[in-house]
Chains A and B, each alone.
Chain A
Amino acid sequence: MLLKKLSEAFGPSGCEGDVRNVLLEELTPYVQEWQRDALGNLIAVKPHPRGPRVMLAAHMDECGLMVSSIDRSGLLRFRKVGGIDDRVLVSKHVVIGPKKISGIIGAKAIHLQKPEERSQVIPLSGLYIDIGAKSKEDAEKLVKIGDYAVFATEYKALSDTVVVGKSFDNRAGCAILAEILKEDFALDLFGAFTVQEEVGLRGAGVAAYGISPDLAIVLEGTTCNDLPPSKEHGYCTTLGGGPALTAMDASVICDKAMIGELLRLAKENDIPIQFKRSITGGSDGGRINQTKDGIPVVVISVPCRYIHSPVSMLSLTDFNHTLQLVKLFLTSIAEGGFTR
């Protein structure tokens, strides 16, 4: 299954090669023309003589860690790449570098901690990755400074509809975009798998500059906190509540005409839909929107619980509804039923 392959692929910001390879392998039978730009964005081009020029974007990168030094004892010190909560790091299994070396994020055992240490989050300086090496020399045979690490999490189904895995933010978006690219629409279509979103929306802007689309649709896996102690009006999104539209986030106000059309299509086709209720955080949409002389954007997300942690959770029903809605939207644009 593609979502499983993508979820398990190694792809922290700036090191998205494995994800790119999974996508290329999956889509080669369906896509004739590919572009790869200087930042590593992978762009599937499906040209069509009739416009408009539509950019679909999903970021491939995930949050991860980077080895910053190796102790004499062979323990690896690291920095974060992207926004990971320090509290989720301790005792997690990670894989490191091109050789996919296994390691454990270690810290002082609870028996040895002073009372005041127990009441605090262990700072990054108190954490290390233990790969079982006996010395610096021993460790250097397996890893080097600058190597990335990501959580070692296997994809798993908890029920017919609920699945867990790492980095559904944004492998869910990548999987949806890949499924869309397997079909043909009467549109000048550019499917951009972007890089370095988690460190500052860096890939999407240059991809949009190169493509110069008339409009853009960003596909995301977004925060979902439909859980205690939040009150309902504080839920960001609800698992099982359908695709989540962004009206506004910290980086963009989405195009009202496109949102209106998505709401219409959802209603007409009995697809549940929700609005994201949080405006914190940005998205690739912001960077694309501000490219050149302006590009109208919508952001459509699959709600994912526990993102930016070792394991995230999504509903396949939401996933399939999101895919269905985006296809309907593209068809509507292609048929000229929707114009801005």
Chain B
Amino acid sequence: MKDLIKRVVETYGPAGNERRIRELLQSEIAPFVDEMRIDALGNLIALKRGGGKKLMLAAHMDEIGVMVTHIDKNGFLRFYPVGGLSPLTLLGNRVVFENGTVGVIGAEKLEAQKDLTLHKLFIDIGATSKEEAETKVGLGDVAAMMREFADLGKRLVAKAMDDRIACAILVEALKEVKHAAYDIYAVFTTQEEVGLRGARVAAYGITPDLGIAVDVTRTGDTPEAMVMDVSLGQGPTVKIRDSSLICTPSVRKFMEEVAVQNGIKYQLEVLEAGGTDAGAIQLTKGGIPAGVMSIPCRYIHTASEMVDYDDVLNGVKLLTHIMETEFKG
């Protein structure tokens, strides 16, 4: 599975620019699903028939990025963040555009480090004039973080673990599932990082009976970390709440029961800040029961997001068993 993870995390696909990652995922899941379609917002919606209720599983395929807003006469680019980005973790990083153009994030002269804001940063693509830069990039183009996948043994590090690790888990679970207890709508959603936008319209189009998002969550297990009772290696989480939703109690209970019955290690998650696609799904039409399984992840929204491989494998197990167990709530 590490090979799949490497391919999925390294592929380009910031919010609103998901074509490449969508094409990769399409080819990965094609043998394991009955139907596929792409909606107006670019969501990849795959159906695996098992009869019964409609289960929507959502993993967002978009990642954070930077959008070009201005090209100056010397060929330097100014940008705005696409999704939640910190200037602290951008400075010195490399970014890459869809056409392969590589850039370095530099900063204006600063009086003090605390003056570092996104407005003080620029991208240097090695061009020496506006005209030269314009042959490589245009206004509105979006670059993603550029960083190779690293296998540290137990732990895996890459850009875009948020939320490609969930995409990889959903792909694996679609391969593994033997007796689907639902008509499973596996949705690789777009534009989560800018406001859960893909999931909202996908859920409207599907109108599922049950929605479960797979995403990453923060941890409290690093030096002087914020207080949070989630750690790497303690299993995928069953979410209780975050800022976008309070998980439907019957769905949370169902997910916990599936984990217990199948001896899968899991932890409970209360996330103080941050939202997931499930928040949008839950409020669709007349309301949809919704829950979340998260993979604990350190250093979220940086170029080096870290997850635990056992958590990933347990995530695949839990998701597969969820697909095979009828929700009666």
Contact = CB atoms under 8 A, between A and B. Distances in A.
Interface string A205-242: 00000000000000000000000000011100000000
A302 interface: no
Interface in A231-280: 232-234, 245, 247-248, 251, 253, 256, 259, 275, 277, 279
B139 A247 contact: yes
Contact of B17 (A232, A234, A256, A295): A256
Interface in B61-76: 67, 69-70, 72
Interface residues of B, number: 27
B268 interface: no
A277 B41 CA distance: 23
B81 to A, nearest CB: 8
Contact of A248 (B16, B40, B41, B205): B16
Interface in A266-302: 275, 277, 279, 289-296
B197 A247 contact: no
B194 A253 contact: yes
A293 B67 contact: no
Nearest to B141: A247
B205 A245 contact: no
Interface residues of A, number: 21
B80 A290 contact: no
Nearest to A277: B69
Interface string B50-89: 0000000000000000010110100000101010000000
Nearest to B195: A251
Contact of B40 (A245, A247, A295): A295
A245 B195 CA distance: 21
A247 B69 CA distance: 9
Nearest to B70: A233
A290 B197 contact: yes
B69 A294 contact: no
Nearest to B17: A256
Given A247-B140, A290-B201, A253 B16 contact: yes
Nearest to B41: A294
A277 B70 CA distance: 7
Contacts of B191: 253
B200 interface: yes
Contact of B80 (A248, A256, A259, A291): A248
B70 A232 contact: yes
Given A247-B67, A247-B139, A253-B15, A232 B202 contact: no
A212 to B, nearest CB: 11
B194 A293 contact: no
B113 to A, nearest CB: 21
A233 B40 contact: no
B119 interface: yes
B39 interface: yes
Contact of B204 (A234, A275, A292): A292
Contacts of A277: 69-70, 78, 80
Interface of B: 15-17, 39-41, 43, 67, 69-70, 72, 78, 80, 82, 119, 139-140, 191, 194-195, 197-198, 200-202, 204-205
16 contacts: A233-B72, A245-B140, A247-B67, A248-B80, A248-B140, A253-B194, A256-B16, A275-B139, A289-B197, A291-B201, A292-B204, A292-B205, A294-B43, A294-B202, A294-B205, A296-B41
What 10 pairs between A and B have smallest CB-CB spacing? A294-B201, A293-B205, A247-B140, A253-B16, A294-B40, A233-B70, A294-B41, A233-B78, A275-B139, A277-B69
Given A253-B191, A294-B41, A296-B40, 11 more contacts: A232-B72, A253-B16, A256-B16, A256-B17, A290-B200, A290-B201, A293-B40, A293-B205, A294-B43, A294-B205, A296-B41
